[in-house]
Amino acid sequence: MSLDINILEADEFRIKFISLQCLFLLGICLKIKMVLLMMLFCLPVTAASDDDSDSIEATTALTLPVDSVTIYPDGLMAVKREGILDVTEGMHKFVINLPDKADKSSALLSVSNASQERVVYEANPVYTLNITSAGAQSFALSYLMPGASSWQPKYDLHLKDDDVLIRANAVVMNLGGEDLNDVWLKLVSGLPVSQPYPQAKVQQDSLRSYALAAAPQAEAVEEAFMESPSPATGELETLYIFELEGRKDLVMDKAIGFPLFELEAPLIRVYTWDAYEETSGPVREEIRANNTLSSPWPTGEALLYKEGEYVSSIEMPYTPAGTNATLDLGP
């Protein structure tokens, strides 16, 4: 009897043990099934991610050397950068490094043998390009930098008997945040203009009512005056771009002067007084220097010299090509 009881207890123990094993195996199967389901759901996302990574050949941070800059009267600087880079065929991302003052939205990138897929304007623009031919590609980048520069003309006028030697320099300031070395430099004159420039000081009709004096050859002076080209009209300055010769270095935050032009301009001397208001004088001397260049003379400060000695500081008026600049030398 006791033997039968022991056998029954052993059988019950085996049944319980087998049940526990079954439950354990069932739990493992459920876990495996859940893992398989998760892998099944994640597989399309992973595959898509792999496809994206395979489609982009490389992501490159790009800094191109500056080739040329154009400076406008209001301080705007237009920058062009160029370079050559070996690139494989396929889709590429380029992160374009730009200065802090650059207008990111104005950036334009051109690459040979490439088509642009999209541009993402982040801290620096990110271009996605499809390169159709492997090898060395030409990269050209342009952008605008407001308030990153300034320039103004400065004149030295050396007065002679029959002409005046005019030396014009361009004083340039680079405020863009980096040195610009070995660049082509263009200077824009005339735009934008907010106010009209002053009218020329002398008008022909009023001059004829004044007496010409203090000149031994008064009649000859009058004849030369009548036949001379018309004086500067005082019109709004029109757009003109000075392209300086040779590449230049523009050190950051330093005023640097570059030769703009030099010429010996023929002149006419005119001596006048207001015979109605001041019968005894004083007689004022004016000169009219003719601009024989194809470019205008921009408005700027001028230092006047006579026989090598400094005389005074005057303003050179805006003078289009083929017209006269009227300069008042005083009594």
Residue with token string 């496809």: 51
Question: Is 15 a domain residue?
Answer: no
Same-domain check for residues 180 and 242: yes
Question: Is 38 a domain residue?
Answer: no
Same-domain check for residues 133 and 252: no
182, 247 contact by CB (below 8 A): yes
Same-domain check for residues 86 and 210: no
Q: Would you report the helix, strand and coil content of the chain in percent, each value rounded to 5?
A: 20, 45, 30
* Cis upstream peptide for 282 (omega within 30°): yes
Question: Is 52 a domain residue?
Answer: no
Q: Which range among 148-162, 188-202, 211-225, 270-284 has the greatest average pLDDT?
A: 148-162
Same-domain check for residues 155 and 126: no
Instruction: Provide the domain count of the chain.
Output: 2
Residues 6+ apart with CB under 8 A from 151: 71, 73, 170, 171, 172, 173, 187
Same-domain check for residues 69 and 128: yes
Question: Is 109 a domain residue?
Answer: yes
Is pLDDT of 25 > 80? Answer: no
Question: Is 25 a domain residue?
Answer: no
Supply the mean pLDDT for the chain. Answer: 78
Residue among 17, 304, 3, 5 nearest 164 (CA): 304
Same-domain check for residues 263 and 278: yes
Amino acid at residue number 127: Y
Q: What is the pLDDT of residues 282-318, one digit of tens each?
A: 788 888 999 999 999 999 999 999 988 999 999 999 9
Same-domain check for residues 136 and 218: no
Q: What is the pLDDT of residues 268-285, one digit of tens each?
A: 988 887 767 776 667 888
pLDDT at residue 203, as a whole number:
34
Same-domain check for residues 180 and 322: yes
Same-domain check for residues 224 and 249: yes
Question: Is 44 a domain residue?
Answer: no
Is pLDDT of 112 > 70? Answer: yes
Q: Which of 179-183, 186-190, 198-202 has the lowest mean pLDDT?
A: 198-202
Q: What is the pLDDT of residues 35-63, one digit of tens each?
A: 565 555 444 434 344 444 446 767 889 99
Same-domain check for residues 161 and 296: yes
Is pLDDT of 228 > 50? Answer: no
Same-domain check for residues 163 and 297: yes
Question: Is 218 a domain residue?
Answer: yes
Same-domain check for residues 172 and 70: no
Range of the domain at 275: 150-191+200-330
**Among 145, 177, 208, where does a domain finish?**
145
In this prediction the pTM is 0.69
